[in-house]
Amino acid sequence: MKNIGALLKYYTDVSFYSLGISVIVSIYTSILWGGFIFCTLGVGIGLLCFQYFKKNEYYFYYNLGWTKWRLALLVVGINTVISIPVLFISALFLWLI
């Protein structure tokens, strides 16, 4: 897969905003809610923040052949793959305590 560096940059930029929201939610509620937000609502917030702060970078990704829709699906897929094991381990840990 070519352009992996560009996709990794997009993922880290969007996930930065998503992770920030998830940490704030985790502080006020629990780590399970933070993980849930990271996987679902945080992605939408991250995409909106990227759209607002770095809108011009979409031209770069479009020139590489990536649409906004495909980039958003990439972020959702990676966050889901990361969040499921983390949420499972967190729930197991909280159950053991």
pLDDT at 1: 59
Domain that holds residue 18: 4-96
Look at residue 89 and tell me whether its pLDDT is greater than 70.
yes
Arithmetic mean of pLDDT, 67-93: 85
How does pLDDT run across 10-49, given as a tens digit for each residue?
999 998 988 888 899 889 988 778 878 887 888 889 999 9
Number of domains composing the chain = 1
Give me the helix-helix angle, 68-96 and 4-28, nearest 10°. 40
Q: Look at 61 and 1; give whichever has higher pLDDT.
A: 61
For 71, the enclosing helix (H) or strand (E) is: helix 68-96
